[in-house]
Amino acid sequence: MKGICILGATGSIGVSTLDVIARHTDLYNVVALTANNNIDLLYEQCLEHRPEFVVVVDEKKALAFTEKLKNSPVSDIKVLSGADSLEYVATLDNVDSVMAAIVGAAGLLPSLAAAKAGKIILLANKEALVMSGDIFMQAVAESGAQLLPIDSEHNAIFQCMPAGYKSGMHAKQARRILLTASGGPFREMPLDQLVNVTPDQAVAHPNWDMGRKISVDSATMMNKGLEMIEACILFAMTPDQIQVVIHPQSIIHSMVDYVDGTVLAQMGNPDMRVPIAYSMAWPERFDSGVEPLNIFDVRRMDFEEPNLERFPCLRLAYEAIKKGGIIPTILNAANEIAVEAFLNERVRFTDIPVIIERCMERFEAKPANTLDIILGVDQQARLVSEQIINELYH
């Protein structure tokens, strides 16, 4: 049996991962679960999966969770708190695989710790690569860790790569990646109406069940921009070799175009349990619990180029990776602040790219060659983004 640590157990990826594990309890043993503050769901997960460790990052919530466990059937679980504990459980000796599913920059350090410890990393946290791609991939190479992408698009690309392919390699026969995107809920909304979009509208994704932050990123297509940057790093491609394709049905999850004219695509129902099960069973396959794709129900598949006037965040992501250095870190930090401000109704939907672009303009593309530089710049960009929000509304 493989021991698994799930970073972000109460988010949508964590919940889907535990659903897959429940189908294969003879193959996986849950060693550790972590959550930020959803202790009620975490408690239910503990009752079913009985981990050795639980990390509740918020200290007050951790104390409340400890109380909750007293006199319960799982009172022997060790409860830890604080961000440092995430790194601790991700590097435990009896952990073979780490599901890195914490959203945003908060997932960087525990994911990197798992990479340095040589674990099998099931990477659902794209920000870890956007912020520190070179450092992260170097840690994977030096430790002998195995990196398996969980994002449905990167997982699809991985599946379409040649036999024996490993993340970080450049497949010479592959000349282009076609990175698919649903286009989100506002693909056809008149541009002049975007200014009035509400948070509830933005998080109502037509095809995928995702958290609020990622759903907003999908609506702005920043999610696809971050995925494009991640694809450059995971598959050793240039931005010019990655073409974003809007595919509203979300049946083809991405494609790889080969030098002989062959285009390989991975298809399936839009359910994150498919890439999760693929990565957990790799290099074999096992049941994910997802219904087989009925191609007759699909009937048609559409493809279109993204309109960068409608989706300026995608343009900014291409600019960030081309400038390189610390700029992708700034892009990510500014986006996290802008999206949080939008969800809290402090800014409008159309302000998100404005905040990001103004923040990027205030930094030079210096090298991002140490973790201290990356973390320092991340904090600086967050402060600058808050200043920009204040400038916009005061």
CATH topology of domain 2-149: Rossmann fold (3.40.50)
* Residues 99/10, Cβ–Cβ less than 8 Å: no
Per-residue pLDDT, 206: 64
> pLDDT by residue (tens digit) across 177-233?
999 999 988 999 999 999 999 999 998 866 666 678 889 999 999 999 999 999 999
> pLDDT by residue (tens digit) across 355-374?
999 999 999 999 999 999 99
Q: What is the DSSP string of 285-329?
A: ----SPPPP-HHHH-----B---TTT-HHHHHHHHHHHH-TTHHH
Q: In what order do the strands lie in the sheet with 78-81?
A: 78-81, 53-56, 28-35, 2-7, 97-100, 120-123, 146-149
Q: Which CATH architecture has domain 324-394?
A: Orthogonal Bundle (1.10)
C-alpha span between 185 and 91 (Å, rounded): 39
The first and second tokens of residue 147, run together, are 């990196």
Ranges of each domain in the chain: 2-149, 324-394
Pairing of strands 242-246, 174-181: parallel
Handedness of CA 358, 362, 365, 370 (dihedral sign): negative
> pLDDT by residue (tens digit) across 79-92?
999 999 999 999 99
Better pLDDT: 168 or 328? 328
For residue 204, give the 3-state DSSP assignment: coil
Q: Pick from 88, 84, 237, 214: which is nearest to 168 by CA?
A: 237
> For the chain, give me the number of helices (H) and strands (E)?
16, 11
pTM, 2 dp: 0.92
> pLDDT by residue (tens digit) across 158-169?
999 998 899 988
C-alpha dist (Å) from residue 79 to 8, 63, 69, 122, 312 = 15, 9, 9, 23, 43
81 beta partners: 56
